[in-house]
Amino acid sequence: MLSHSLDGLSSKSRALKVLLAEPRGFCAGVDRAIRVVEEALRRYGAPVYVRHEIVHNRTVVENLEKKGAIFVEELDEVPQDAHVVFSAHGVPKTVPLEAERRNLLYLDATCPLVSKVHREAEQHFADGGSECRHILMIGHAGHPEVVGTMGQLPLGAVTLIKDAQEAKTVHPENPDRLAFITQTTLSVNDTAEIVAILRERFPKIEGPRRENICYATTNRQEAVKRIAPECDLVFVIGSPNSSNSQRLREVAERSGAPKAILVPKLENLDWAVLKGVNVLGITAGASAPESLVQEMLKALSQKFTLDIEERIVKKEHVTFSLPSLLGR
């Protein structure tokens, strides 16, 4: 809580260097998903139902709830003939089929880069000819994106590979008829290690034409790698259930920061962690709004004399259009 001030931190006499990683915060897929819900509310009026958190950030969810969105985990919580939005993480094929059966008007806010992985999985599976290729998916068990991607293919067609150890021990039925895909929000380095193991064990394995880890995940990890060695502490603004935010925290520590912590909201911060910190790094996960970063900087400026430096690794200019049902 803000009241958790430490003796000496309330004075602005102490200088604090802040390194701001850029890119940080919202990616194009997150921005599109939020716009889908907002436009649906504008066109159809409240309530609009959203299956699962539209993106993994409580601030975003709470702001949309104030506008009339109702978040549910499954379609059986949605009234007949209602409007429903599928989250940016994607859904198994059974979900739109169930929505159609129940006469729900649905809008798919799945990130186009996640949809690309869905299509690649289907193509690899079908291109196996008379004997379909088995798919190895690198990702985190239970994550909505993984559940949605595996749900594009028949049960048993995909095996989840969670880490390097599983890559070393997986025993597919036909090692010569394999392909791999990955979750879009993984650690770039960890995934490269797993892919290298799979390629060594299964030389004929097919992979994506382009890397599945999305541009936003890659760019944010690269940006935090650049600042981490200079920092005493790194704040990652993001929610605990956000895969890309968790990966940023891990990458910061592996890249030289003595400590990195996840900060979902300003009120979650124990200010005692800043004792002895002279250089603070700040980044934000792809589902965290920039307003949370600015709120953090404002609070810090009330306790320290700040020297803020933004480190820009790359400028992003990616945008995605809204679903055709919304007319853009």
Q: Is residue 328 part of a domain?
A: no
Local confidence pLDDT in tens for the 328 residues of the chain? 333 333 344 445 699 999 999 999 999 999 999 999 999 999 999 999 999 999 999 999 999 999 999 999 999 999 988 999 999 999 999 999 999 999 999 999 999 999 999 999 999 998 755 678 999 999 999 999 999 999 999 999 999 999 999 999 999 999 999 999 999 999 999 999 999 999 999 999 999 978 899 999 999 999 999 999 999 999 999 999 999 999 999 999 999 999 999 999 999 899 999 999 999 999 999 999 999 999 999 999 999 999 999 999 999 999 999 998 886 5
Domain boundary among 111, 142, 168: 111
- Residues 259, 274, single domain; the answer is yes
**Could you give the number of structural domains in the chain?**
3
Question: What are the C-alpha distances in Å from 272 to residues 5, 9, 109, 290?
Answer: 7, 8, 40, 24
- Residues 84, 52, single domain; the answer is yes
CATH label of the domain that carries residue 71: 3.40.50.11270
Q: Report pLDDT for 325.
A: 83
Q: Is residue 322 part of a domain?
A: no
Q: Is residue 142 part of a domain?
A: yes
Domain boundary among 152, 180, 213: 213
Q: Is residue 325 part of a domain?
A: no
- Residues 140, 219, single domain; the answer is no
Q: Is residue 271 part of a domain?
A: yes
Task: Supply the range of the domain harboring residue 305.
Answer: 15-26+215-312
- Residues 85, 166, single domain; the answer is no
Q: Report pLDDT for 315.
A: 94
- Residues 234, 158, single domain; the answer is no
Q: Report pLDDT for 113.
A: 96
- Residues 308, 220, single domain; the answer is yes
Model confidence, pTM: 0.91
- Residues 150, 219, single domain; the answer is no
Q: Is residue 6 part of a domain?
A: no
- Residues 87, 105, single domain; the answer is yes
Q: Report pLDDT for 2.
A: 33
With 0-12 CB in 10 A as exposed, 13-18 as middle and 19+ as buried, what is 311? Answer: middle
Q: Report pLDDT for 170.
A: 97
- Residues 121, 52, single domain; the answer is no
Q: Is residue 237 part of a domain?
A: yes
- Residues 35, 81, single domain; the answer is yes
- Residues 195, 220, single domain; the answer is no
Phi, psi (deg, nearest 5) at residue 11? -90, 140
Q: Is residue 173 part of a domain?
A: yes
Q: Out of 22, 39, 53, 145, pick the active-site residue.
A: 145
Q: Report pLDDT for 12.
A: 58
Q: Report whether 70 contacts 48 (CB < 8 A).
A: yes
In three-state secondary structure terms, 281 is strand
Domain boundary among 213, 228, 247: 213
Q: Report pLDDT for 298.
A: 97
Task: Give the DSSP H/E element, type plus range, for residue 120.
Answer: helix 112-126
CATH label of the domain that carries residue 254: 3.40.1010.20
In three-state secondary structure terms, 177 is coil
- Concerning whether 39 is annotated as a catalytic residue, the answer is no
DSSP character string of 193-260: HHHHHHHHH-TT-B--SS-SS-HHHHHHHHHHHHHGGG-SEEEEES-TT-HHHHHHHHHHHHTT-S-E
